[in-house]
Amino acid sequence: MNRDTAAPPQDAPSESPAMTEDVIIRTDGPVGRISLNRPKALHALTLDMCHAMSAALSQWAKDDTIEAVIIDHHEGRGFCAGGDIAFLRNSALNDNGISGRKFFHDEYQLNHQLFTFEKPIVAFMDGVTMGGGVGISQPCKYRVATENTRFAMPETGIGLFPDVGGGWYLSRLGGRLGQFLALTGARLDGAEALWAGLATHYVPHDLLEDIKARIIERPGRISGILSEPVGTPPPARIEANALKIAKHFASDRFEDILASLEKAADDGDDWAAKERDTLGTKSPQTCKVALRQLAISSDLPTFAENMRMEYRIASRVLTRPDFAEGVRAVIVDKTGDPKWNPPTPEEVSDELIDQIFAPLPENEEWTPLP
């Protein structure tokens, strides 16, 4: 099956494609179903997977028999761990980022397509939901967390930034929580994702198959099905630190945040010391990028404008030294010793950040799907 162009079968229920496919696309009666199926990579997205999902959504958008869409994963412990980082690093090192930019461009088209899709989409964030997984779940009207959810945008640790719409979603969280998540890459469990507003519902894992079956049976009642009593989620642990997050991450200047945490750490605040040390492992360049990204995103009127901005950033950051080095240290060699360039926040100039955010030539700018 050519996943770049193939349309999903429309029989109800349809037969699933071969299990070797990285994404399984089928229909169950009035519901289109997309199941990520790359378990050894925690269902990280490839360009072919993005194209397959876009093709299915384009067909279902025009099919009056399809009333809703479900996005989940077929097997394994992750919903979606992100994008194909090895592919992107190879592009940065070997083709000056050309194929990597193509990946970002088309992935962002999928993100925008999900955001503007007129039929309800339910994303089941059951497991690791990071990076690209955030990009395909947050645009959905219904975002279901479970006790297995591990939500994070950890990109600053590998010299990237919270893209795939991260600027839009994180900048709209209250209490500077978005800035905290963008800089630290902190992982939220399902209850915390619900508390933060990143999930719309919390459902125990053992009830998911029943919930999906009921949605397939009555797609017009998704909200009611998800809202029926399923037990009380655990307390959101991050709530206990909400005031500290709002205080110490209040500034859009990275140096101010570090100074605030440093002062509190000197006064004996263990939480502040931990977060200060965490930020010390991140790329100073992309921490500054993320803060400006969220500051701009919060004022943008449309998601398309946000994605245009993020594509400009991605096009530049991909070939900056920190990305290939960050992936080497964290993912390839697993040494945890990235040599950032520039090495300190003070050496990351406003002029450098301006260059990263500057418009691209008109014929290279990001555009949504027609």
Catalytic residue list: 83, 132, 155, 163
168/185 Cα distance (integer angstroms) = 16
Kindly give the residue spans of alpha helices, DSSP state H, lying in 9-119.
47-62, 85-94, 98-116
43: tokens are 């269902």
Q: Is 56 helix (H, G, I), strand (E, B) or coil?
A: helix
179: nearest Cα among 113, 100, 260:
260
Q: How many residues does the chain have?
A: 370
253: nearest Cα among 356, 353, 342:
353
356/86 Cα distance (integer angstroms) = 22
Helix (H) or strand (E) holding 155: none
Measuring CA to CA, how many Å separate 17 from each of 8, 26, 35, 69, 350? 9, 8, 11, 18, 50
Buried b / exposed e over 252-283, threshold 16 CB at 10 Å, is eebeebbebbeebbeeebeebbebbebbebbb
Task: Work out the angle at residue 172's Cα, subtended by the Cα atoms of residues 54 and 205, and round it to the nearest 5 degrees.
Answer: 60
